[in-house]
Structure 1
Amino acid sequence: MKLLNRVAVVTGAGQGLGRAIALAMAEEGANLVLCDVQGDKLAEVSAEIEGLGRESLPVRCDVSSKSEVAEMFTAAAERFGTVHILVNNAAIVPTSPADEIRRNKHYEYVTTPVPRRAVGITSSLDDDDWLRWWDVNVHGLFYCTREALKYMEPQQYGRIVNISSVAGISTASMHSPGYSASKAAVANLTKTVALDVAGANIFVNAIACGGVLTPPFEAYLEHATDEEKQNLYQMIPVGRLGKPEEYASLALYLAGENHYLVGQVISANGGVVI
């Protein structure tokens, strides 16, 4: 078992990609600290992990709160002694009605023959549209990383996997400039932190995910028109969204021993960005 007796903290573990990553790590022998703001969902994932014969500690935690993050890592150390792996998965994604309107405008503009014009996305954003991404997507990732390093640096070992997005390395999410900027910050922070800690045998890397078939995307697809769905799939060369389990396998690899990857941003995206 590749992660036998390792202790992994996975944020945003209550559903979707975070749940898939947590389960994949448990199947490879890790004990899990599960973080999410949705306590009921955490209980379900915790039960699944214990059903696999591993231990889990579900902690309701808002990663945008540095005090709650510090309390979570203290609880992790009290339960398991240390932390070996951190997966910074918790994030806010563009799912509001306004986000969906902007997304559909973007997809129509790049997939159908319409006159060239300003799409009017950036100029229509208010301050909240810009600022709402940063507390969770960037500050939360920093708070969790800082706390994890307090255990990883003294023990001269650690693996940190940051979940960025294809939005952070391309124009694939032009419909959401604030989200794209926050995920670009994740990609660059991955590189700077990796350089800082590589000498302590702590490997920090990121996955720049393409579209992931998680509950928010499933909700969008449920009420999207056939044309809107076609516009989405037209942008993906393989013609489908990625499965959480496909991304989880990459996170599992980066959390393991048998690689030489430091500060890399690996984009699994079905060919959207090559």
Structure 2
Amino acid sequence: MKLANKIALVTGVGPGLGQGVAVALAREGADLVICDVNPASLAAAREAVLAEGRRCLSVVCDVSSSEDVAQMFAQARAEFGTVHILVNNAALTPNRPADAARRNKLYDYNNLPVPRASLGFTREITDEEWHRCWGVNVHGTFYCTREALKLMEPQREGRIINLASIAGISALSAHSPHYSATKGAVVAFTRSVAHEVAGANVLVNCVAPGGVATPAFDDYLEKIGDEARNRLWQGCPLGRLGSIDEYASLITYLAGDHYLVGQVISPNGGAVI
């Protein structure tokens, strides 16, 4: 229970990594503030946290709205007095049909003997796709960090863990240049803020995951068949995705006592070395 008497705020607690992180923090003794735009996902995460015997404030919040974020932190302060840990997990991932088509095209290009040519991704990205991705992935991370620091700096205690992606540190997600750009921005933002606030004992770090074995990704792997699945594993020496528990345990560590400042840690099975 290394996080006993701590208040943790986790954004984007839908099924998968967000909910897994919230539960892992609760198991270490933290009380939780959780948010999501989907009320059903939020309710499920709340029940999972309460099952661990911890208190939980759940807030419907669109992190791309500075007003929503400010209101959420006001509720957190009213309920718990402060926030010690912020996990900026909320993100838009490329999961529309056009995104799947681009992803499959890139996988074939990387793993089959096809002629070299431009893949034509960036020229097809719309203004709406670009701005929507930046709104949640970058603006949301900034809005939540700004509000958290208003609490953490005066109390001289805080931990902020930003979720980036291997998309932000490599070309493995070249199929989604808008997503890659936002995750690269999260990496740069982490390093800058980490340097700024470390003197106030607020430690800011970044986790850049590879593939996460969520139910949705498991369904995708099942549908694509053995040949396509094996082509996918050619880019990952370990030959599998990371489990939610494996990622959550790292984030829980970063929420506690350590000597890490401004680091970008990428659990990815060797996909990026």
The TM-score with structure 1 as length reference comes to 0.96
Which residue matches 1:72?
A: 72
Equivalence for 1:140:
140
Q: How far, CA to CA, are the matches of 1:218 and 1:71 in structure 2? A: 36
How far 1:222 sits from its partner (Å)? 4.2
Partner of 1:268: 267
Q: Is the 8 A contact 1:104 1:228 kept in 2?
A: no
Q: Deviations over 1:45-95 (max 9, x none)?
A: 212211211101111111001111011101111111100000000000010
Deviation per CA, 1:122-163, whole angstroms, max 9, x where unpaired?
Answer: 233232333321000000000000000110011000000000
Q: Percent identity?
A: 59
Counterpart position of 2:36 = 36
Question: Which string of whole-angstrom CA distances, capped at 9 and with x for unpartnered residues, describes residues 164-201 of structure 1?
Answer: 00000000100000000000000000000101100000
Q: Deviations over 1:218-237 (max 9, x none)?
A: 34334324333222222111
Task: Count the aligned residue pairs.
Answer: 273
The 1:215/1:138 distance shift into structure 2, 3 A limit, reads farther
Contact 2:125 / 2:178 at 8 angstroms: preserved in 1?
no
3-state DSSP of counterpart to 1:74: helix
User: Which structure 1 residue ranges, 5 or more long, are not aligned?
Assistant: none
SS, match of residue 164 in structure 2: strand
Structure 2 distance, partners of 1:75, 1:215, is: 31
Q: Hey, what does 1:117 align to over in structure 2?
A: 117
Partner of 1:11: 11
Structure 2 unaligned regions, length at least 5: none
Structural RMSD (CA):
1.2
Partner of 2:58: 58
Q: Which residue does 1:26 correspond to in 2?
A: 26
TM-score by length of 2: 0.97
Please say if residues 3 and 30 of structure 1, whose CA atoms lie closer than 8 Å, have aligned partners that are also in contact.
Answer: yes
